Amino acid sequence: MNIQPKPARFNAARRAATNYFVSGLSILATLVVLAPLAAILFYLIYKGASSLNLAFFTQVPAPVGETGGGMANSIIGSGIILLLASLMGVPIGIAAGVYLAEFGRSSLLGNAVRFTADVLNGVPSIVMGIAVYSLVVVEQKHFSALAGGIALAIMMVPTITRTTEEMLATVPLAVREAALGLGVPKWRTTLSVSLRTASPGIITGCMLAFARVAGETAPLLFTAFGNQFWSFKLNEPIAALPLQIYVYAISPYDEWHRLAWAGSLVLIVLIMVSVTLVRIYASRGVLKGGS
Amino acid sequence: MTTEREPGSPVSMRDRMLELQPNIEGKGGVAEVGGPLSPIRAYLSQRGSGRVGDKTFAVVVLVCACSIFAIVLFILTILVFRSRLSLLQFGWRFFTRQAWNPVSGNFGALPFIYGTLATSLLALVIAVPLALGVAIFLTELCPRVLRAPISFLTELLAAIPSVVYGLWGIFVLVPLIRDVVGPFLVKTFGWTGLFVGPNFGVGILTASIILSIMILPIISSLTRDIMQAVPNSQREGVLALGATKWEMIRIGVLRNSRIGIVGAVMLGLGRALGETMAVTMVIGNQPAIAKSLFAPGYTLASVIANEFSEATGDLYLSALIEIGLALFLVTIVVNAIARLMVWAVTRGAPARVG
């Protein structure tokens, strides 16, 4: 736009029209973007809710050709894998975030870690799957819940690290100095003052990482593998909700499609409830934030 | 108790400490006999400084931070190690060969590279204008009341798992493309030659649409952050010259944030390249290079998802792992460039009027 004082170029009517046109386009874009969301949620509720019943939450999948059956083992299996992943991923992620915020704020190593974490965040989940397969499953010679947990834990670490760092950076220096001035050692200051102050934001980060990996299928394909029956052992193949949805969705049976919709509804409700709870919690917490 | 006194430390204070900590007395007394150690110092040295704790703590968090490096290195080495058969057998030609024949042991990645690039670029073509529109609406036009709910809704799109997109794609989008959108495209854009051949609903076009929905929230939320980072003085300056709102957005906001927006688009590209489940479920899974967007295809990620668990033979497996390695390296490069671009903008670099 070259704004010139020549009247011929200074066409107010056309400029106003362009302005309205572009505003309209951007509103249209927003509506177009929200349409798939509405469509997906509508179909999930429309197709999924009718298939939800008590059996869905209490029974294992029925053999082909039989009606009924549920996804109880998948729900529990997902829970076990996610618990394993959180147990491994959350402490490492928070500790790495503490390093970035408290020790390596502007050091070369700190920047390198920060950059690597961001890059790791963008690595496709299927690559995590085959990497963990190559390391854990090939060595163990069988698929296992543990391998699935490791794959998901690796995916959680970068998100948690970066959120923890950002949240710790918002804790005022004076708070740390107050603790140090009382003679509290640095590790104690970090653990019970800095981390405590930043905890709402850090919990938000952990929950967002959790919600993100909860729906992941690709890294579990060759690690947890799936299971049609109950399994609680960590070194055996285990069922997971997203895996089971995938298997049912690409199957040719209507009965299984029905279960896939129901499973998706359950999965998405679980994820959305956790994300929404986190939003509410974070907006009421000491520090607002979270990415 | 008064044999020696720390300069500057009042007696009352020390006494009070001793009162509070009666167990110091004994040790302090011992020290007093032998040397010039004050009770406070004795108390402090008995209590221990944080030196050991601090050292341990620093080492522990350092190890955790370095574990992120270790993870990346471990993925790289294990993928190279496991794909060595295929790396040695095919070399660089692996990426230019079109054959994919597990029976005769003849492998080439070209169809998958084509499928990945075609779906990702088409997804960007669809998603970028929409994402920009959403970001402009949210930062510049939206009433304040609607801002939080709408950005929350667009971010909900990112929370929907890939497999649910795939399920929705199979049962809703595929019939829609087959019966409604496909015929319309043939009628309107048939002359381009991009929409020829039978349309089964599964294929590159459907995969691209699903991908575009999935990468939209990433691009739009990052673009929004970047546009919000443009200082208000820029907007005011352009408005003060008599610009309309759109001119203000174009000159004051978009021009200042273009590097960041390119970075956001590249992050979206990185996500699109590696997206697996939803694409696998709707792309048709045929290793063919076809010009038509209706034709089924295959992507790097979806061939791994689909064939890895049934791969028989070491060469087959290592060819699939080599595809994973290629995907890993490409997404790392794309993400690295994108991150550098986004950082360059959001890290308080002064806004330039270009």
Nearest by CB: A260 against B53, B167, B251:
B167
In this structure, the dihedral spanned by the alpha carbons of residues B325, B326, B328 and B329, taken in order and rounded to 10 degrees, is 120
- Stretch A115-143: mean pLDDT, rounded? 90
| Interface pTM, i.e. ipTM | 0.88
Give the residue, A207 or B121, on which the prediction is more confident: B121
What digits encode the pLDDT tens for the residues B106-120?
898 999 999 999 999
Among A17-31, A227-241, B338-352, the minimum mean pLDDT is found in B338-352
Domain B90-346 has CATH 1.10.10.10: no
Nearest by CB: A30 against B66, B137, B160:
B137
% of chain A at pLDDT higher than 90:
44
Residue B19: Cβ-neighbour burial (10 angstroms; 0-12, 13-18, 19+):
exposed
pLDDT at A22: 92
Nearest by CB: A187 against B54, B75, B245:
B54
CB–CB of B156 and A117 under 8 A? no
pLDDT at A6: 56
pLDDT at B199: 86
Q: Computed from CA positions of residues B21, B26, B27, B29, in that sequence, does the dihedral angle turn out positive or negative?
A: positive
For an interface test with A, the pick among B21, B55, B57 (most A C-beta atoms closer than 10 Å) comes out as B57
Show Cβ contacts of residue B285 under 8 Å, excluding neighbours closer than 6 positions: B296, B298, B302, B303, B306
- Stretch A192-209: mean pLDDT, rounded? 87
Amino acid at site A172: P
**A69 forms bridges with which residues in the sheet?**
A61
CB–CB of B276 and A157 under 8 A? no
Q: Is pLDDT at B310 greater than 60 in this prediction?
A: yes
Q: Computed from CA positions of residues B198, B204, B208, B210, in that sequence, does the dihedral angle turn out positive or negative?
A: positive
CB–CB of A103 and B61 under 8 A? yes
CB–CB of A216 and B331 under 8 A? no
What digits encode the pLDDT tens for the residues B110-154?
999 999 999 999 999 999 999 999 999 999 888 889 988 998 888
Domains of chain A: 74-240 (1.10.3720.10)
Q: Is pLDDT at A291 greater than 60 in this prediction?
A: no
Residues from chain A contacting residue B40 (CB–CB below 8 Å): none
Q: Residue B343 CB: number of other CB atoms within 10 A?
A: 16
| Contact call for residues B260 and B226 (beta carbons, < 8 A) | yes
- Stretch B179-207: mean pLDDT, rounded? 88
What digits encode the pLDDT tens for the residues A234-289?
888 899 999 999 999 998 888 889 889 999 999 999 888 877 777 677 666 544 44
**Average model confidence (pLDDT) across chain B:** 84
For an interface test with B, the pick among A41, A217, A245, A271 (most B C-beta atoms closer than 10 Å) comes out as A217
Among B29-43, B210-224, B255-269, B328-342, the minimum mean pLDDT is found in B29-43
What digits encode the pLDDT tens for the residues A87-118?
999 999 999 999 999 888 888 999 899 999 98
Confidence of residue B279 (pLDDT cuts 50, 70, 90): very high
CB–CB of A264 and B164 under 8 A? yes
Q: Measured between CA atoms, how close is B349 to chain A, in angstroms?
A: 17
What digits encode the pLDDT tens for the residues A47-100?
988 888 888 888 888 777 777 778 888 999 999 999 999 999 999 999 999 999
Q: Residue B290 CB: number of other CB atoms within 10 A?
A: 18
CB–CB of B69 and A116 under 8 A? yes
Confidence of residue A8 (pLDDT cuts 50, 70, 90): low
Q: Residue B184 CB: number of other CB atoms within 10 A?
A: 12
Nearest CA to B138 among A33, A290, A20? A33
The residue of chain A with its CA nearest to that of B159 is: A212
Cα–Cα dist B323/B343, whole Å = 30
pLDDT at B26: 43
| Contact call for residues B269 and B120 (beta carbons, < 8 A) | yes
Cα–Cα dist B325/B86, whole Å = 11
Q: Measured between CA atoms, how close is B158 to chain A, in angstroms?
A: 9
- Stretch B212-222: mean pLDDT, rounded? 93
Amino acid at site B237: G
pLDDT at A51: 82
Q: Where are the domains of chain B?
A: 11-47, 51-82, 90-346
Q: Is pLDDT at A4 greater than 80 in this prediction?
A: no
Burial call B39-58: b when 16+ CB within 10 Å, e when fewer: bbebbeeeeeebeeebeebb
**B214 forms bridges with which residues in the sheet?**
none
